Amino acid sequence: MTTVTPLGELTGDYSLEATGTTLAFIARHTLGSRVPGHFDEFDGTARLDGDDPAESSVRLTIRAASIHTGNRRRDDHLRTAFFDVERHPVITFVSTAVRHVGGTGFEVTGDLTIRGVTKPVRVAVELVDARPGADGLRTGFTGAVSLNRLHWGVNENLATKLMVGSKVTLRLTVAARRQNGRPVR
């Protein structure tokens, strides 16, 4: 981790910075190939408490229609058959607990809502950067979680269920800036 800021100095309200954030995923096709992709449109906020991480919280909203896999036909199919973006335009994550697991590691538990279905997930997160800048404190986190897409009803039909693996791995690289540029106590 590159940091010039002690954990306790990170306390404050943060906004996600889209230019430094990537919300990527990878799904396995039954033929053995892996299909990578990402979402292009999202926003989020966090309340970090460096002295008591359990008091921290995170909110993330992803525009489901912004899915991008590098194949327009596949993306259109995912938007309609898998995500049903007309009826379910957003995917949301709202944290319910944050736990410091040691060093720069954290476990963020929360409610993930996809297609109107909400299920709890646990995301392993690592603080990878924290540094003051001219426009306020900037932080960087990475995280990952594996999901079974079928738990959220992300499935077109039996043929699709058999051709596309149910496990999807999400990888997050998040950049955030403290909104007011100074600690909130």
SS3 labels along 57-81:
EEEEEEEHHHEECCCHHHHHHHHHH
Q: Look at residue 183 and tell me if it is in a domain.
A: no
Q: Look at residue 184 and tell me if it is in a domain.
A: no
The helix or strand, by DSSP H or E, that contains position 49, with its residue range, turns out to be none
The pLDDT value recorded for residue 180 is 60
Q: Look at residue 128 and tell me if it is in a domain.
A: yes
Domain that holds residue 140: 2-178
Indicate yes or no: pTM above 0.85.
Answer: yes
Domain of 139, CATH number, reads 2.40.128.110
Q: Report the DSSP beta bridge partners of residue 137.
A: 132
Average pLDDT, the chain: 86
More confident residue, 23 or 156: 23
Residue range 41-75, pLDDT digits in tens: 999 999 999 899 999 999 999 999 999 999 899 89
Q: Look at residue 85 and tell me if it is in a domain.
A: yes
Tokens read off for 140: 């960087």
Q: Look at residue 162 and tell me if it is in a domain.
A: yes
Categorize the per-residue pLDDT at 166 as very low, low, confident or very high, splitting at 50, 70 and 90.
Answer: confident
Number of domains in the chain: 1
Strand 42-48 relative to strand 117-133, pairing: unpaired
Q: Look at residue 76 and tell me if it is in a domain.
A: yes
Q: Look at residue 185 and tell me if it is in a domain.
A: no
Q: Look at residue 141 and tell me if it is in a domain.
A: yes
